[in-house]
Amino acid sequence: MKTRITELLGIQYPIIQGGMAWVAEHHLAAAVSQAGGLGLIGGANAPGEIVREEIRQARKLTDKPFGVNVMLMSPHADDVAKVVVEEGIKVVTTGAGNPEKYMDMWKTAGVKVIPVVASVALARRMERYGADAVVAEGCESGGHIGEQTTMTLVPQVVDAVGIPVIAAGGIGDGRGIAAAFMLGAEAVQMGTRFVVSTESVVHENYKQRIIKAKDIDSAVTGRSHGHPVRCLRNQMTREYAKLEAEGKSFEELEYLTLGALRRAVQEGDVASGTVMAGQIAGMISKEQTCREMIEEMMAQAEKLLGRE
């Protein structure tokens, strides 16, 4: 399935792996790229030098293209933005903010820039600033989310911009990929499915929590404070919801979430940790290699789209 995105990025399949904090490290990024998609290293809150090392490690595992996601709320975003240029990274995605201040530097260095957006307004603005494509991310996604669903956001972004659009949020199999293409997307970005891949280094408890999740196990914390984060229900989300309903401030609740994602991902504390995952968690039933996932999903999508 050739699209403007597969051409732009020089990849075989129109599948991009999300730049998930603590999860999108070099093993996962390299595995997705080796399987014909685009792997991403998630900068998250990491210092520039850690991201540099991740890039170098990924290069040892693949000679295929991979990218870096710059999380714009990170205190190290400026450093990470420079490191990607110094390391010769060819594609950057950004999340949780507006990457305007880095666009000139990246474009001058020949980096393809793909901001993740949750609104038509930001998609338009990014196109004006020279973005090569945008990821339109609906609130079915895990982690930090916007307000609109993928079903409503993607076609509105497709109508508003001329650059190619990548759909994200709520896509977990070939049916989701086919649906995203029907909405006008030219690729998809997927996170949660890859969290349970064989190559993913997250704690076994984290993988099992996703594999066992039911459709109704997804929760959003922090909506009332304007910091909505989607994760799987557990002791942490229940405590958060209770205190949020009591009107506690964002600052008062921060102790519940600080370091909580790392605790869940690395230590397997899926009770008091934050288990970020999208709403498709309920659809995921087994661990597979990234290659098995990608080939199975693409075969299903191509069949549905009549492109076999």
Interface ranges with ligand TUI (CB under 6 A): 21, 44, 71, 73, 95-98, 116-118, 122, 137, 143-146, 229
CB 109 within 8 A of CB 98: no
In this structure, are residues 93 and 70 in contact, taking their beta carbons and an 8 Å threshold?
yes
DSSP reduced 3-state for 21: coil
Are the CB atoms for 155 and 185 separated by under 8 Å?
Answer: no
Whose Cβ is closer to ligand TUI: residue 81's or residue 117's? 117
Angle, CA of 32, 92 and 84, to the nearest 5°: 100
Give least dist CB 127 to ligand TUI, A.
14
The residue (of 73 and 182) whose beta carbon lies closer to ligand TUI is 73
Smallest gap, in angstroms, from Cβ of residue 141 to ligand TUI?
6
Is the CB of 121 or the CB of 299 nearer to ligand TUI?
A: 121
Residue whose beta carbon is closest to ligand TUI? 143
Residue whose pair of structure tokens reads 């064989």 in the numeric block: 198
- Please state, as a whole number, how many other Cβ atoms lie within 10 Å of the Cβ of residue 137: 29
| CB of 59 or CB of 124, closer to ligand TUI | 124
Minimum Å distance from CB 110 to ligand TUI?
24
In the complex, least distance from residue 191 CB atom to ligand TUI, rounded to whole angstroms: 9
Whose Cβ is closer to ligand TUI: residue 220's or residue 305's?
Answer: 220
Rounded Cα gap, residues 232 and 236, in angstroms: 10
Radius of gyration, alpha carbons of the chain = 18
Amino acid in the structure at residue 194:
F
Q: Least CB distance from residue 32 to ligand TUI, whole Å?
A: 17
Residue 206: CB minimum distance to ligand TUI, A: 15
Residues paired with residue 95 on neighbouring β-strands, in sequence order:
71
Rounded to the nearest 5 percent, the helix, strand and coil shares of the chain are 45, 15, 40
DSSP 270: T
Min CB(242)–ligand TUI separation in Å: 19
Neighbours of 143 (CB within 10 A): 25
**H-helix or E-strand spanning residue 263:** helix 260-267
Instruction: State the minimum distance, in angstroms, from the CB of residue 146 to ligand TUI.
Output: 5
- Residue pair 5/133 in contact (Cβ under 8 Å)? The answer is yes
By the 8 A CB rule, do 69 and 92 touch? yes
Nearer to ligand TUI, 229 or 264 (CB): 229
